[in-house]
Structure 1
Amino acid sequence: MMHSVEGVERLAGAHGWLGTVVDFARPFRMPDFFLISGLFLARVIDRPGRVFYDRRVVHFFYFYVLWLTIQFAVKAPGFVADQGLAATVERYLAAILYDPFGTLWFIWILPVFAVTVRLTRKVPPAIIFAIAAGLEISNIQAGVTPENVLGYTALNEFAARFVYFYAGYWAAPLIFRIAGHVADRPLAAVAGLLVWGLVNGTLVFSGLATLPVVSLLLGFAGAGAIIAAATLVTRLGARFTPARAFQFLGANSIVIYLAFFLPMGAMRTVLLKTGVIDDVGTMSALVTLAGVTGPLVIWWFARRFGLNFLFSRPRWARIERPADRRQPAGMQPAE
């Protein structure tokens, strides 16, 4: 939604109603992603090296490089025209090695987070958490820019986001217990979500959400709210078909993350050039919808026409031995 809205608003030169939703979600959209990602790290953190690095490094690196290459192939004519061939190649290599690219940076940094946790797992967790929280509060991106530091995106995002990933890993048992309480007390959970929404919105639209400590607390509160809402949707899914649709999207979210830029960009171009819709908010909503559903169509075509490697890791892109796996050898889904 953020990429869809900001792209439409930039090109249309106007602010739409969906931009308000994006602003509301700004304090928690990435914290909840990384906290939830950290929840499941304990499954592999102490496994043998080839198992851990296959599932937490090679796995994500494969999809990152593949879809980075696809993005560059699509955007190469514009890049070359603006920057030249040499600069385009240099930017591509930098995006692989140390300066993750645009819409895929969070996939690049997930292995970095996982390896950091593995290498520090014998350090008392409270110490790691305190350091990570300090990095988030320090807001180092104010002094780290493309002009003075290589890999500034990676440095900024590591400092701002690692605390949530580590908290998901460290506090996973507590978080799952809280999710269980939400499932048992849905009405109380809904009331809590309403209070959280009021507080989050008040701080965002008063300009206080980005203050040190406040941003950290809002990140954790929002991540908790997303987990609570997801738990309620899961419970509702047993009786309500639309909720099952959300469950399906969540289970296959990596497909959407990897491929959304293609249908998003196509829909944005069509709407802006045809002018069939003049409301920027509605236009942004349709572009967002295309960014969510379009990748599922691409996924269906990939599976039907022998392009499984786009979303499933092939046998050659593995370092884990078949004997180490709990599932049969072959393709490993992106999710």
Structure 2
Amino acid sequence: MNVDTKPSQTRGTRAAWADFAKGLTIILVVMMHSTLGVELALGKSAFMGDLVTFARSFRMPLFFAISGLFAAAALNRSWLKFADAKLVHFAYFYVLWSILQIGVRLALAGHGQHDVSWHQFALIPVSPFGTIWFIYILPLFFLVARFSRAVPPLLVFGAAALMSLFQTHDSGIVVDSFTKYLVFFLGGLYAGPWIKALAAWAHDKVLGVTGLCLAFAAANLQVMAWGQVEHPAFALAMGCFGAVTVVAFSSLIGRYRLCAPVRYCGQNSLAIYVAFTFPMVAARIIGAKTGLITDPDLLSVFVLATAVAGALAMAWTARRVGLSFLFDRPAAFHLERAGVREERIAKATGQQAVN
């Protein structure tokens, strides 16, 4: 079988590496939840658990850094456009999928690994449920970046770095994640030109990127051996090192057609993020409780593949059976369009008054 490894020309090079990086990250996120769930269900450790630990240092830092990297344009828009694109957009999917996830788990009470109660609905505005805390935190980061535009970037980044070094661990998912990851979002925002320059440099530097990957792997494994993966100083250093390494790696290989499935996941990362838990849980129950797959690594791979493919299939199906609102924000929930309508009404009213 011939494998086409030529660069894809369907999208720009910048979009290719960014999509690949986002796709790799969302796959790693799903892998973490899939593997940990399988280990808990089977009561066995999996080799993929070591991969989850290895990726812990850069998985979410990269996610937030990529988000910050392409945030600059949105920050300079009018407040209406900014709020529509970066606040209402995420709020819509956060509320919708929080309700769906809580509702489904209540309906299937006793079949999951975590208890759910009705009061979770009341906590939606202040306490993210399950895996979708990311789309609760991200708008907060955009607001920080928007309000701090007049402050020297070095000062804002320094404050975020200090906050990361003295991050909280028992103040709830919102505060803990805010203190831990804001620095990476701002790093992507402020270091955007250098990150893009790195991606341009790494485009055809096989030896250089290979050396960078090996250096990161060695450093990361050493931190793991020391048992310091969660230490704030090491987490900050390895998060930055890992994000830079993945950007270079993505620029080197992300443009090839062989990587198209990963890029596709990156282009549809939000759909995967909000929906993957449903096929993931179904696959785990089928594999573990039926005894069809007893090896934790094989079951982890099966659950991972099913979760990603299942989420994409859910999005594809929803858009064809009249349920596109699950993955595409309806026009009624667009502030910008509402503003345009109001402006047109005001103009029409004014013209009628003149006439």
TM-score range, shorter chain: 0.7 to 0.9
Residues 255 and 299 in structure 1, CA contact (< 8 A), matched pair in contact too? yes
SS in 2 for 1:209: coil
Question: Are 1:93 and 2:122 counterparts?
Answer: yes
Give TM-score, length-normalised by structure 1.
Answer: 0.87
The reply on whether 1:308 has 2:324 as its aligned counterpart is yes
Report whether the alignment pairs 1:120 with 2:148. yes
Report % sequence identity: 37
Q: SS of the counterpart of 1:200? A: helix
More deviation in 297-306 or 183-192? 183-192
Q: Give the counterpart letter for 2:194 in structure 1.
A: L
**Corresponding letter in the other structure for 1:196:** F
Say if 1:89 and 1:81 are closer, same or farther in 2 by CA, change over 3 A.
Answer: farther
> Could you list the per-position Cα deviations for residues 123-148 of structure 1 after superposition, in whole angstroms to 9, with x for gaps in the alignment?
1111111111111111321xx34xxx
After TM superposition, the score normalised by the length of structure 2 is 0.82
Whichever residue aligns with residue 90 of structure 1, its letter is H
Instruction: Please state how far the C-alpha of 1:116 moved relative to its aligned partner.
Output: 1.1
Amino acid at match of 2:99: T
| 1:70-81 → structure 2 map (5 Å cutoff) | 70-77=100-107
- Is 2:311 aligned against 1:295? yes
Q: Distance in 2 between matches of 1:171 and 1:46?
A: 17
Structure 1 residue 101: Cα displacement: 1.4
CA distance in 2, matches of 1:220, 1:125: 17
In the TM superposition, residue 93 of structure 1 has moved relative to its aligned partner by 2.2
- Alignment partner, residue 216 of structure 1: 236
How far does residue 77 in structure 1 lie from its aligned partner after superposition?
A: 3.4
Q: Which residue of 1 aligns with 2:346?
A: none
Equivalent residue number for residue 43 of structure 1: 73
Paired letter, 1:198: A
Deviation by residue 1:95-119 (Cα, 9 ceiling, x = unmatched): 2x11111200011111011011101
- Counterpart of 1:213 in 2: which secondary structure? helix
- For residue 277 of structure 2, what is the amino acid of its counterpart? F
**Larger-Rg structure:** 2
Residue 210 of structure 1 and its aligned partner are, at CA, apart by: 2.5
Question: How far off its partner does 1:70 sit?
Answer: 1.0
Who is 1:202 aligned against? 222
Q: CA RMSD in A?
A: 2.0
Letter in structure 1 aligned against 2:189? Y
Flag structure 2 segments of 5+ consecutive residues without an equivalent: 1-30, 341-355
SS in 2 for 1:157: helix
Letter in 2 for 1:243: C
Aligned residue for 2:46?
Answer: 16
Distance in 2 between the 1:257 and 1:245 partners? Answer: 16
Where do 1:122-161 residues align within 5 Å? 122-141=150-169, 144-145=170-171, 152-161=172-181
Determine if contact 1:80/1:88 at 8 Å carries over to the other structure. Answer: no
Out of 286, 295, 312, the position equivalent to 1:270 is 286
In the TM superposition, what are the counterparts of 1:202-281 in structure 2 within 5 Å? 202-235=222-255, 237=256, 241-281=257-297
User: Match of 2:64?
Assistant: 34
Contact 2:332 2:338 in 1 (8 A): no
Deviations 1:221-277 (A, max 9, x none): 111122122212323x1xxx4312211111111111111001000000000111112
Instruction: Please report how far the alpha carbon of residue 212 of structure 1 lies from its aligned counterpart in structure 2 after TM superposition.
Output: 3.2
Shift of 1:323: 8.5
**Amino acid across the alignment from 2:154:** A
Moved more, 181-190 or 277-286: 181-190
Aligned-partner residue type, residue 62 of structure 2: D
Match in the other structure for 1:186: 206
User: Is the contact made by 1:179 and 1:231 (CA closer than 8 Å) also made in structure 2?
Assistant: yes
Is 2:277–2:307's contact at 8 Å kept on the other side of the alignment? yes
How many Å separate the matches in 2 of 1:257 and 1:206?
32
Shift of 1:193: 0.9
For the Cα contact (< 8 Å) 2:69–2:192, is it kept in 1?
yes
Is the Cα contact below 8 Å between 1:233 and 1:247 reproduced in 2?
A: no
1:139/1:160 contact within 8 Å kept = yes
The amino acid of 1:108's aligned partner reads Y
Q: 1:79 offset after TM fit, Å?
A: 5.9
